[in-house]
Each structure stands twice: as C-alpha cells, then as structure tokens.
C-alpha cells in the first residue's frame, strides 16, 4: 500500500443532515458544548449525501466544464457510489480550515493525501466500509484515470468559411442570424464560436459529454429546456446556446464596454462564471482593472498556480486557465475575420475591419490580444 491513503475524519454534517438533533462543538465556545452525535454508515446512507472536504488543486479537486475532476474527488466519488449516496464536495484554502469545518460538523470527512490514515471511533461501520473499499489496486486504477485529463472532441471539421467569395461562413448562417438577437450578439460571433466548438459539425461530441454545434453540456441543455433527443439538432442546439450566452452575459452586466463584456462571456462559457469572477477578484486585489479582459487574463492563467487558486478570496479554486485564455483569443480573432468577409445584413452588426486571409493559423486580431501583458514578478 502507498505510504499515504486518505485522512478521513468522520463527523456529522450539519448542512445536509439538520433533521437530526445534534449539538456542534465550537472551538471558541467550549462551555456551551454538548456531546456530539455522530453519523455512522447507516445514517449517512439514510440521508443520501456524504460531504467531503478537500483542498483545490489538479490532484485533489477542481471543476472543469461543470464536472468534478481530480484524483481525490474521483476516489471520494467512487466510495460514495459504493455506499449508495451522492457526494458533495467542499473546498477550503488550507488544512486548518478543513479541520475547523470538520470540528464544526460542516463536512463528514477530509479527502486529502496525508502521511497517516485516521478515522474516528464514533463511526465504526463507516470506518470499516472505508477500510474495506480503499484498496491499493483500486486507488491505483482511479488515480490513473484521474491523470488522464486530456479532453477530446470527436468531430468532422468543415471549412472555416464555406464560400468566401459570396460571404457565406457555413451551412448554418441563417440559424446564427435567427438566434443572434437571443444572445445579444452579432451573428458572425456566434459562427466564430461554433467553429471553435465543433468545426461546424452538428454531430460533434466531446469526451466530457458536450454535444452538437455549440457543444452544449448535458446540464446546460437541461437548464435551457432542450429534450434529450434534440440536443444534436442544429436549430435546437444553436437556440439553446444563444439563450445560455445571454444568461452568462448577465453575470457581467456591470461591464459597460460591449466587446469587453463579450470576452468575459466567452471565458465564462468555456471556463465557468465562478472561475472568471475569481480572476476578476485577483486582478482587483492587484490594482488592475477587473472589467478589462487583458488586465484579467493573466489571473485566468495564474489560477493554475497554488499561490493564486488557494488565495482566501478565491471561491472556486483551481482552473485550467490556459485553455480559456486561448478560447477567447481564437474566437475574437476569427470573429474579426468573419466581420471582414461575411455578409453583414443582420441587426446589431459591427463595423468591419479590413479583409484578411481566412486560412487557419493566419489570424491576427485587430483588438489587443490577451497575451500582450507583462507578468508580475
């Protein structure tokens, strides 16, 4: 067995299980403390939820396209499934905060690589279940799967522009025009985003489960009211994506400059609203303008560094920010190219820059690209 397993402290969850009458021990109010009533395996199974606390990080837990990732998360999730409950994750900036949450009954156990493996005597059945489940071969298998984090998209790429001579971008231009008002965007920006997501392949599917032209995740499709049998339908997919873009954009309604708001919306569509807002928080703390993308982009990238994703003001932890930064940059570049070459008869179209080649790899944005910043020492 490896020199570490998981340090598992087992206490009552006062968040998910308040129907039980329990008293909580507060470190600063010991005089008022009563005897704690702990949840053992049967009580946790009855409640249907087990709450794990951990630190954010690539090897512990982070969210990627709305899905949990990281070895410790995957181990905890597999254990939760083995006992028939749903896993809820809570992240903290440091181990001291984790221990405090544990003491106050906010989490059931800590999922983290530690030198020892300890459980509380108050839950013998849960301790036994953990000991029987956490076997070296199972840990090795799950950790191997967690380390394989490459995201692939199975798609048949169409030309970046179907007919440049006649200003036709794709076979779906009419749909982009029809639903651009729902997004509040120029239709050619929707087209640029679609090419980045799927290469105009309506049957594209990613290893994360994203579907169709705009690569809708299942939970997004559900939230936008798309039936399961219509998620690859071009019109349904584009229409739902446009509605979702509008919803995401509202999270940045305080950004008055429309193109800046577009950049933040694109970043959030790819990386999540919470992560983008964390980067804004870090930029603001550093004295940067949190409403200007090239001032925030460095902190999108830095959310891959422990110093930043464990900052006490960062709520959502680790982020694979290099993908999001590139996503924004490539789509803005392509949009500028489409504005120079595609027919503009649609509401809300924007003044076009000069024409440029539309061959892949030859894009040069007319706006300041995100990489034109100088990292702080």
- Tell me what percent of the residues of the chain surpass a pLDDT of 70: 76
pLDDT at 61 over 80: yes
> Which tops the pLDDT comparison, 9 or 164?
164
pLDDT at 358 over 60: no
pLDDT at 302 over 50: yes
> Which tops the pLDDT comparison, 120 or 51?
51
Q: Which of 197, 260, 295, 325 is labelled catalytic?
A: 197
For the chain, give every domain's residue range.
5-147, 153-341
User: What is the helix (H) or strand (E) element at residue 87, kind and residue range?
Assistant: strand 86-92
Q: What's residue 125's pLDDT?
A: 83
Q: What's residue 333's pLDDT?
A: 96
Which of 103, 168, 171 lies closest to 358 in space, CA to CA?
Answer: 168
Half-sphere exposure of 236 (CA within 13 A, CB side): 17
- State the Cα angle at 296 between 293 and 301, rounded to 5°: 115
Tell me which fold the domain 5-147 belongs to. D-Maltodextrin-Binding Protein; domain 2 (3.40.190)
Mean pLDDT of 105-121: 69
Mean pLDDT of 143-150: 69
Q: What's residue 30's pLDDT?
A: 40
Q: What's residue 265's pLDDT?
A: 98
Pairwise CA distance, residues 242 & 209, whole Å: 19
- State the Cα angle at 130 between 62 and 119, rounded to 5°: 90
Mean pLDDT of 365-377: 31
Structure tokens at 158: 């169409």
pLDDT at 238 over 60: yes
Domain at 153-341: CATH code: 1.10.530.10
Q: What's residue 372's pLDDT?
A: 32
Q: What's residue 4's pLDDT?
A: 40
Active site residue 259: no
Task: Encode pLDDT of 179-237 as tens digits.
Answer: 999 999 999 999 999 999 999 999 999 888 899 999 999 999 999 999 999 999 999 99
Contact between residue 257 and residue 273 where contact means Cβ atoms under 8 Å apart: no
Mean pLDDT of 81-97: 90
- Tell me what percent of the residues of the chain surpass a pLDDT of 90: 49
Q: What's residue 165's pLDDT?
A: 87
What's the pLDDT band for 332 if we cut at 50, 70, 90? very high
Q: What's residue 117's pLDDT?
A: 75
What's the pLDDT band for 43 if we cut at 50, 70, 90? confident
Contact between residue 79 and residue 109 where contact means Cβ atoms under 8 Å apart: no
Q: What's residue 149's pLDDT?
A: 62
What's the pLDDT band for 38 if we cut at 50, 70, 90? low
What is the overall mean pLDDT for the chain?
Answer: 79
Half-sphere exposure of 249 (CA within 13 A, CB side): 18
Q: What's residue 347's pLDDT?
A: 40
Q: What is the SS3 assignment for 93-149?
A: CCHHHHHHHHHCCCCCEECCEECCCCCCCCCHHHHHHHHHHCCHHHHHHHHHHHHCC
Structure tokens at 7: 């340090």
Q: What's residue 142's pLDDT?
A: 78
CA-to-CA dists, residue 331 to 122, 191, 249, 334, angstroms:
55, 9, 16, 5
pLDDT at 20 over 60: no
């Amino acid at each position: 067995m490896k020199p570490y397993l998981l340090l598992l402290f087992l206490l009552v969850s006062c968040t998910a299980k308040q129907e039980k009458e329990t008293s909580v021990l507060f470190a600063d109010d010991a005089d008022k403390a009563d005897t704690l009533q702990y949840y053992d395996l049967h009580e946790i199974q009855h409640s249907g939820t087990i709450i794990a606390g951990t630190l954010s990080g690539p090897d512990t837990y982070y969210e990627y396209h709305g899905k949990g990732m990281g070895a410790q998360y995957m181990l905890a999730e597999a254990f939760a499934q083995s006992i028939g409950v749903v896993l809820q994750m809570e992240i903290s900036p440091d181990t001291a905060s984790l221990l405090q949450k544990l003491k106050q009954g906010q989490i059931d156990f800590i999922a983290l690589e530690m030198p020892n493996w300890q459980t509380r005597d108050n839950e013998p059945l849960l301790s036994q279940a953990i000991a029987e489940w956490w076997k070296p071969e199972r840990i090795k298998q799950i950790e191997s799967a967690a380390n394989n984090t490459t995201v692939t998209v199975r798609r048949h790429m169409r030309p970046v522009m179907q007919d440049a001579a006649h200003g036709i971008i794709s076979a779906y231009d009419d749909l982009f025009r029809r639903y651009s008002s729902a997004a509040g965007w120029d239709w050619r920006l929707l087209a640029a985003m679609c090419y980045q997501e799927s290469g105009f392949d309506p049957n594209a599917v990613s290893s994360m489960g994203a579907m169709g032209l705009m690569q809708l995740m299942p939970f997004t499709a559900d939230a936008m009211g798309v039936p399961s049998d219509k998620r690859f339908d071009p019109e349904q997919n584009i229409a739902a994506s446009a509605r979702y873009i509008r919803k995401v954009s509202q999270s940045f309604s305080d950004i008055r400059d429309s193109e800046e708001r577009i950049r933040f919306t694109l970043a959030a569509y790819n990386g999540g609203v919470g992560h983008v807002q964390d980067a804004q928080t870090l930029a603001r703390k550093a004295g940067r303008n949190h409403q200007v993308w090239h001032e925030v982009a460095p902190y999108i990238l830095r959310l891959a560094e422990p110093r930043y994703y464990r900052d006490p003001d960062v709520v959502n932890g680790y982020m694979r920010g290099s993908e999001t930064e590139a996503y924004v940059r490539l789509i803005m570049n392509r949009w500028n190219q489409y504005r120079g070459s595609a027919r503009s008869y649609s509401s809300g179209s924007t003044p076009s820059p000069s024409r440029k080649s539309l061959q892949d790899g030859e894009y040069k944005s007319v706006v300041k690209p995100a990489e034109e910043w100088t990292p702080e020492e």
